[in-house]
A = this chain, B = another copy of it.
Amino acid sequence: MINDLFLRACKGEPVERTPVWIMRQAGRYLPEYQAVRSKIGFLTLCKTPELAAQLTLQPVDILGVDAAIIFSDILLVAEAFGMNLQLDETKGGPRFTKPIRSSSDIDALSVPDPRSKLRFVLDAIELTKRELQGRVPLIGFCGSPWTLAAYMVEGRGAKDFRRIKRMIFEEPAIVHKLLEKLAETLVIFIESQIAAGADAIQIFDTCGGLLSPDDYREFSLDYLWRVASRAKRNGTPLIVFSKGATALLEEIANIGVDVVGLDWTVDIGEARRRVGARVALQGNLDPTALFASPERIRQEVRTILRKYGKGSGHIFNLGHGILPDTPVSHARALVDAVKEESGAFHQ
């Protein structure tokens, strides 16, 4: 690996400067992405390894980030379970035509073998790894059991995912049945992505913040722990990003992951004091801050670097995905600022 800063930071090993990548760095804000996307549907992009690899590499070339993340979508796992997924980002986001509403809907799901049903992701990882030629590490990813279940039951993105929230109070047992099926599959999916060449894995628990602490432990954290503890990783770093769940940061840091992702609602310095050296931390600039001037972006970067403080174990990132209208020059200003400002914290 020519640039392994990201992997070293995941392990808390010394680095010369803080590595940086951006959630959703391959996506809509890039004109180069839009040029491809204008001709080809989102699902086709995900399922065509050559195209997925091309999109994965774009931000590495354009922004100079320290890690690539495979172009894909967390909901493809639900599709592999036999659900009909419509993924059109221009029409209000992903949608399942027949959401899960009952125990028999869950029984009707066909538990997939990701090695065949999600072969295209693994092929895209293999191809991207060849094309990267060791320039930067490649991150594979998946959704958390809870977040996948929330989408599968709601049928689409929502503010508060009321349907699965009702279900955990009305019929908790069937939610557990769904979560167990998902966890089993995700273990194999993670192992397959690593076998295909992924250098790290991130689990996105975007819906973690919907739950009370007790319910978070029961319906999200316990399954994150199962996935983290069962997937054989042979040292491949595992990142978990549970948006909105920072109240339980200490517990998330204890499930056996290497890195915990932070959204922007927590002070990263305080988060570091809370978790100590148990895990590395990834984050956590408010994505909206990229609408500020490049000078102000640099200030914000300095503030976060200073809050984290000296030493390794920090991967710079936004606190959620980059927003569609973000100017590319501002994303580059972020990456440049991290590269130029962070050396002082590693002397």
Contacts and interface: CB of A to CB of B under 8 A. Distances in A.
A244 to B, nearest CB: 7
A286 B215 contact: yes
A170 B292 contact: yes
Interface string A230-265: 000000000000001111000000000000000011
A291 B213 contact: no
Contact of A288 (B169, B245, B264, B288): B169
B214 A266 contact: no
| Copies of this chain per assembly | 2
Interface stretch (A139-147, A159-167, A337-345): A159-167
A323 interface: yes
> Which of A168, A170, A286: most chain B Cβ within 10 A?
A286
A296 B244 contact: no
A274 to B, nearest CB: 11
A203 to B, nearest CB: 20
A214 B286 CA distance: 11
5 contacts: A165-B286, A169-B288, A169-B289, A170-B291, A212-B319
Interface of A: 159, 162, 165-166, 168-170, 209, 211-216, 244-247, 264-267, 286, 288-289, 291-292, 296, 303, 319, 323
